[in-house]
Amino acid sequence: MKVLVVGGGGREHALVWKLKQSPRVQQIACAPGNAGIGGIAWCLHMDADDIEVLAQYAEKTGVDLTVVGPEVPLTKGIVDVFEERGLPIFGPVRGAAEIEGSKVFAKELMRKYHIPTADFAVFEDPDEAIRFVRKRGTPLVIKADGLAAGKGVFVCDTPEEALEALDRIMVQRVFGDAGKRVIVEDKLEGEEASILVFTDGETVLPMPASQDHKAIFEGDRGPNTGGMGAYSPAPVISPDLERRIMAEVMIPAVKGMTAEGRTYRGVLYAGLMLRDGEIRVLEFNARFGDPEAQPLLMRLESDLLEPLEAVAERRLKDVKLSWSPKASVCVVMASGGYPGKYRKGQRITGLEHVDGMKDVAVFHAGTEFDERGRYVTSGGRVLGVTSLGETIHTAVERCYDAVKRISWEDCYYRRDIAAKALNRA
């Protein structure tokens, strides 16, 4: 079987790595891939959002299944184009992917179908938004409506921070057209966690709970990033709470999308805020999280091809998944300066010292080869070092042991990934 994975980050490396283990997969291509993915799959010189070129490739080479990693091609309608041509593909159609592509759409969906979330208001005029913020007061959370690579959310504890966020989003347009509209919502307190599910629009099959670390600095301080690390399971979500999340959030969201004429098929991700038994949805994403995918796929004992195929063929009810009882931790190693300006082309050393470590995988994100064939940095998030352990404590120890063997100039990583889970142990 031939599989095409679309994307070139750590999530896509993890998808390729797991699909490579399937006895039914003979060939994997990845567009565009990265230096790490190139060691186990064909990397194609194609952009992840060049939909026409990707569709032509799938047709000409007889790709049996395409798996879409990032949100941009999904919101641009890659699934619609492939399905129109009879090409099997995993992911939501454009109308369904709007649950991530427009935060306004997602919030209004939650309001309509009684899915718990923070109170909010939507603005297209910056002056109206400013007046609202001054009247409402802080703390508030201000979000760009469109896609902003995880960086369009501002937690504002003072009026000055809120006004600056509005200026950056709506006036300076640092996120381009994603900032045409903003959501201003109440700041929620509690502990964040993530639930991801496979769904074909009817059956909803949950994955284990996970927890991401979005802020750049320890203690969840500083600006948001695409994610600085993740772990699974997340002990903040008990079995009873998981059942409630499914009943109050995930199933209503899937049913609501169907009722809206936007049947959702793919991975649906809910970012949650939990406090004293209360559940509130922070956001929905239309794909695997990055870096949540890395620890989740490390824990998946089943063949990943099974749920991907079953979703594409509308028969997810036939699938049962098996998950390792072990814990998994991913620490993202980033370029110094990320999520702001950072240098590229820094030589990465020490990867050979991690190869062969038991229950450790290094998933490449922002890497490429230099003219001498050496690994160098090419992005903000560079590597996702991921481990398995009998307990969260052993998984953390093993992960950081591997991280310390790898380096490059200005390398940065958080040293408190999974600290909340350790505190609960």
Going residue by residue through the chain (425 aa), what tens digit of pLDDT does each one get? 999 999 999 999 999 999 999 999 999 999 999 999 999 999 999 999 999 999 999 999 999 999 999 999 999 999 999 999 999 999 999 999 999 999 999 999 999 999 999 999 999 999 999 999 999 999 999 999 999 887 899 999 999 999 999 999 999 999 999 999 999 999 999 999 999 999 999 999 999 999 999 999 999 999 889 999 999 999 999 999 999 999 999 999 999 999 999 999 999 999 999 999 999 999 999 999 999 999 999 999 999 999 999 999 999 999 999 999 999 999 999 999 999 999 999 999 999 999 989 999 999 999 999 999 999 999 999 999 999 999 999 999 999 999 999 999 999 999 999 999 998 86
Interatomic CA distance for residues 65 and 88, integer angstroms: 5
Taking only Cα atoms into account, the Rg of the chain, rounded to an integer number of angstroms, comes to 21
Exposure letters 389-400 (e unless 16+ CB within 10 A, then b): beebebbbebbb
Output the pLDDT for position 117: 98
Interatomic CA distance for residues 241 and 278, integer angstroms: 9
State the total domains in the chain.
4
The enclosing domain of 18 has a CATH number of 3.40.50.20
Please answer whether residues 170 and 126 qualify as being in contact, where contact means their C-beta atoms are separated by less than 8 angstroms. Answer: yes
Domain match, 206 and 272 both:
yes
Is 111 inside a domain boundary?
Answer: no
Domain match, 205 and 163 both:
no
Q: Where in 276-351 does DSSP place strands (E)?
A: 278-285, 327-335
Interatomic CA distance for residues 413 and 288, integer angstroms: 22
Domain match, 281 and 207 both:
yes
Domain match, 217 and 306 both:
yes
Is 114 inside a domain boundary?
Answer: no
Which pTM was predicted?
A: 0.95
Domain match, 29 and 78 both:
yes
The enclosing domain of 171 has a CATH number of 3.30.1490.20
User: What sign results for the dihedral spanned by CA atoms 302, 305, 307, 313?
Assistant: negative
Interatomic CA distance for residues 80 and 96, integer angstroms: 11
Q: For residue 145, what are the domain limits?
A: 119-186
Interatomic CA distance for residues 384 and 253, integer angstroms: 30
The enclosing domain of 344 has a CATH number of 3.90.600.10
Domain match, 198 and 308 both:
yes
Is 103 inside a domain boundary?
Answer: no
Choose one of 284, 300, 318: the last residue of a domain. Answer: 318
Helices (H) and strands (E) in the chain, counts: 15, 23
